[in-house]
Structure 1
Amino acid sequence: MRVSVDEVIVEVTARPGASRRGVIGVTGERLVIGVNSRPEKGKANDELIEYLARETRVPRSALMIVRGETSRRKTIRIVTHEATKVASRLRQISKPK
């Protein structure tokens, strides 16, 4: 995760078709996030963005996939004026329960 003044960049590995939605774990520097949707017509990407927006408490429009649109390995940019808070929330959801 890279944090700057007005954005957070997070590396994600998506697991489409997962039985449960949410953070499955951390591999290296990547969050592994399961989504229920299949990777058809962008449904899994939409669900991933929706999940991250809800968990980080930022508008869905503030998130964008900047790399890996058709891959499981994605780079997601979150534009926010509260980058440290968003980074903190991402760290919280990545901790094992």
Structure 2
Amino acid sequence: MNIAHLAMEAAEIKVRVTPKASSNAVEARDGQLRVYVTCVPEGGKANAEVQKLLAKALGVAKSNLTLIRGQTSRDKVFRVNF
């Protein structure tokens, strides 16, 4: 999926996360960005996987994405930093 157009400086990207999914994926559905990860939401594992998948889909380094809201929620907001 190519969502690279969303990767602008200081952009805030809202995602809905589904942990323990059957496969890792990033999808845009109904105007919402959805990230599916296979790992469990324990100890930040799912957040790290979401960051990795989202960074790859956006075409940026994962260090350029910061989780600013939703540490323990399925609804998360990431900020793009360059």
> Structure 1-normalised TM-score?
0.69
Unaligned runs of 5+ in 1: 81-97
**1:12 pairs with 2:15:** yes
SS in 2 for 1:49: helix
- Contact kept in structure 1, 2:69 and 2:77, CA below 8 Å: yes
1:25-48 Cα distance to aligned partner (Å, 9 max, x none): 424x43111001100100000000
Return the letter of the residue paired with 2:38.
N
The 5-angstrom pairing of residues 1-97 of structure 1 reads 6-27=9-30, 29-80=31-82
SS in 1 for 2:42: coil
Identity of aligned residues (%): 34
Return the letter of the residue paired with 2:53.
Y
1:11-63 Cα distance to aligned partner (Å, 9 max, x none): 10100000011124424x43111001100100000000011111212111110
Worse-superposed segment, 57-66 or 35-44: 57-66
**4+ residue stretches of structure 1 with deviation over 3 A?**
none
Q: Which has the larger radius of gyration?
A: 1
CA-based RMSD of the aligned residues comes to 1.7
Unaligned runs of 5+ in 2: 1-5
> Structure 2-normalised TM-score?
0.81
Instruction: Pick closer, same or farther for the CA change 1:25–1:59 going to 2, 3 Å.
Output: closer
